[in-house]
Amino acid sequence: MCFASVWGGTYGNACAAQVTTDSIIAPNVFTPNGDGENEFFEVTSREGKAVALKVFTRAGVLVFSITAKTCKWDGCSQNGDEMAQGVYFYTAEVPGSSPKVSKSGFVHLFR
């Protein structure tokens, strides 16, 4: 298992084939409340490559998944149900990248 530091580096040599730097940009808060500001959890790659984004509840249930150059989650499930305000876990990776480029973390959804 690889443990990333707060500066984006890794501990030990076990993660030499995985990059967990700021190659993927993701905010930690968004507010899909209709005011026109911060309406989406938007995830992109600094290099403009496609990103595979998955969003999970804290219980580990997948609620949203997309692969695109600009991934936008509006706070709704795949079938359009509005998700509750709270904390969600996400994973993002650049498919086919070598070394693997990925990022994971938590995003706060405020309504």
Fold of 18-109: Immunoglobulin-like (2.60.40)
Task: Tell me if the pTM is above 0.75.
Answer: yes
Domain locations in the chain?
18-109
User: Distance between CA atoms of 83 and 10, rounded to whole angstroms?
Assistant: 33
User: Distance between CA atoms of 15 and 25, rounded to whole angstroms?
Assistant: 20
Q: CA 58 → CA 55, 62, 63, 69, 85, distances in Å? A: 10, 10, 11, 26, 12
What confidence tens digit (pLDDT) does each residue in 45-101 have?
999 999 999 999 999 999 999 999 999 999 999 999 999 999 999 999 999 998 999
